[in-house]
Every structure is written in C-alpha cells, then in structure tokens.
C-alpha cells in the first residue's frame, strides 16, 4: 500500500488531487491536511511514501514546511504544487530538497506521471525547469538581484509588487505587521531600491508578477 500525504489550504483542491490519485493508485492510503504546520505534524505520525504540498499556504508556507520535512525525514520525497510559474519558484524548491515541482494548471496525467517518477526514486523535472537549471550552471556571479533574497523576502516582494499593503501581507502570511515591515526594509536595502513603486517596476521588468 502506498501512503500519500496531501497538503493544501483549499479543500476543493485537496479533493480533486485525492480523486485523481485514487483513480490511478487504487490501493493508496491518502491523507490530507490544510496548512504547513499540520503537514509537518502529520508527517511525524507514520511513514509516508510521498508528500504532495502546495507552495503558498497561510502561516508556515509549503517551502518552510519542505525544509522542516527534509531536516527530519531526509529521504521523504516531496512534490511541490503551485499556481506560480515554474521559472519563479522551481529552482528554489529543488534546492530546498523537493523531488519535483508542478504547476497547478498542469494536466492530471502530468501529476500522475510526476508521482510515478518520484515513487520510482527519480526526480520530476519538466523541460522548462531543466532548461532553467542549465542556464543557472556557473551563473552565480551574474545572479539577478532578486535571487539573492531569502525565500520569505522573495514572497513578500511579489506580494508588494501585486499591490498588497503591509496589512494585507500580514494577513496573507499570518505574520505581524512589524515582521512584514522588517522584511520590506531588508528587501529595499538588499536591492538598493527606495520605495514600493521601484520594487513593483523591478518585479514587472523581471516578469516576477
């Protein structure tokens, strides 16, 4: 029996994933959780063959949960699903230890293919991500400014660029206003920018939003 753990903060998404996987893996035991903290807690309860997690969840994000899981269960395969384009997060996710990255708008057949590959001991990397990885080889010296940001800073940058206020971001990420303000200050300093308008312009120019 295959043990699959799904993490997503939208119940309808969890139900859809569960249905797709149940049809393909009829003997699978599929459990689900609604956020990153529940994911880590549930992962400790038994041995899982694969975790399928959303990237953007309130509180502890999928990326933070991934790092925690890899610290505690180094060999546990994790497939990250996200609404964000592959070129924005795939490299960060793979570097954090994920076994694959899949856009939520991918066909159900692609999800099944990715799960099969990962259960077989391989990583799932789409042609787009493979090309991006090839481009990044030996390119650290010419790394784009936004790639020097931490994962959380990058997340805050994207939300600011989408026109979200500090209060909005605080609510979305379940972090205090002070914490979000601190992240904003760090981002501006690291990127040598002065205000939200400049951040937004940079994000648009670099196709981050």
User: Which residue, 60, 63, 58, is CA-closest to 80?
Assistant: 63
**Token code pair at residue 32:** 């689900």
**Token code pair at residue 63:** 């990326």
Question: What is the average per-residue pLDDT within 10-33?
Answer: 94
Q: What is the pLDDT of residue 97?
A: 92
Answer with the residue of higher pLDDT: 26 or 132: 26
Answer with the residue of higher pLDDT: 209 or 203: 203
Q: How confident is the model at residue 11 (pLDDT cuts 50, 70, 90)?
A: very high
pTM listed for this prediction: 0.70
Does the structure show a pLDDT above 70 at 136?
no
Instruction: Say how far apart CA 56 and CA 84 lie, in whole Å.
Output: 9
122: number of Cβ within 10 Å: 13
Is there a contact between 59 and 37 (Cβ–Cβ < 8 Å)? yes
**Token code pair at residue 11:** 């119940």
Instruction: Say how far apart CA 177 and CA 92 lie, in whole Å.
Output: 26
User: Which residue, 181, 172, 138, 202, is CA-closest to 61?
Assistant: 172
Q: Can you give the length of the chain in residues?
A: 209
Non-local (6+) Cβ contacts of 153 within 8 A are: 183, 186, 187, 190
What is the DSSP pairing of strand 78-82 with strand 29-33?
unpaired
pLDDT digits 0-9 by tens, 48-102: 999 999 988 877 788 889 999 999 999 999 999 988 877 778 888 888 899 999 9
Q: What is the pLDDT of residue 163?
A: 93
For 115-148, the DSSP string reads HHHHHTT--B--HHHHHHHHHHTT-GGG--GGGG
């Amino acid at each position: 029996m295959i043990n699959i753990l799904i993490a997503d903060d939208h119940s309808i998404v969890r139900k859809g994933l569960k249905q797709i996987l149940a049809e393909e893996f009829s003997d699978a035991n599929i459990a689900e959780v609604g956020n990153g903290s529940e994911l880590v807690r549930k992962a400790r309860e038994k041995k899982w063959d694969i975790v399928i997690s959303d990237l953007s969840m309130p509180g502890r994000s999928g990326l933070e949960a991934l790092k925690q899981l890899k610290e505690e269960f180094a060999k546990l395969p994790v497939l990250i699903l996200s609404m964000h384009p592959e070129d924005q997060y795939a490299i960060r996710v793979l570097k954090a230890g994920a076994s694959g990255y899949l856009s939520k708008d991918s066909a159900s057949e692609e999800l099944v293919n990715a799960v099969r590959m990962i259960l077989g001991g391989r990583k799932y990397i789409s042609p787009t991500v493979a090309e991006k990885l090839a481009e990044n080889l030996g390119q650290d010296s010419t790394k784009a400014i936004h790639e020097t940001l931490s994962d959380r800073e990058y997340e805050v940058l994207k939300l600011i660029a989408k026109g979200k206020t500090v209060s909005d971001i605080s609510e979305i990420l379940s972090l205090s206003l002070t914490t979000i303000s601190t992240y904003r200050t760090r981002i501006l300093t690291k990127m040598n920018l002065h205000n939200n308008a400049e951040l937004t312009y940079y994000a648009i120019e670099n196709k981050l939003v």
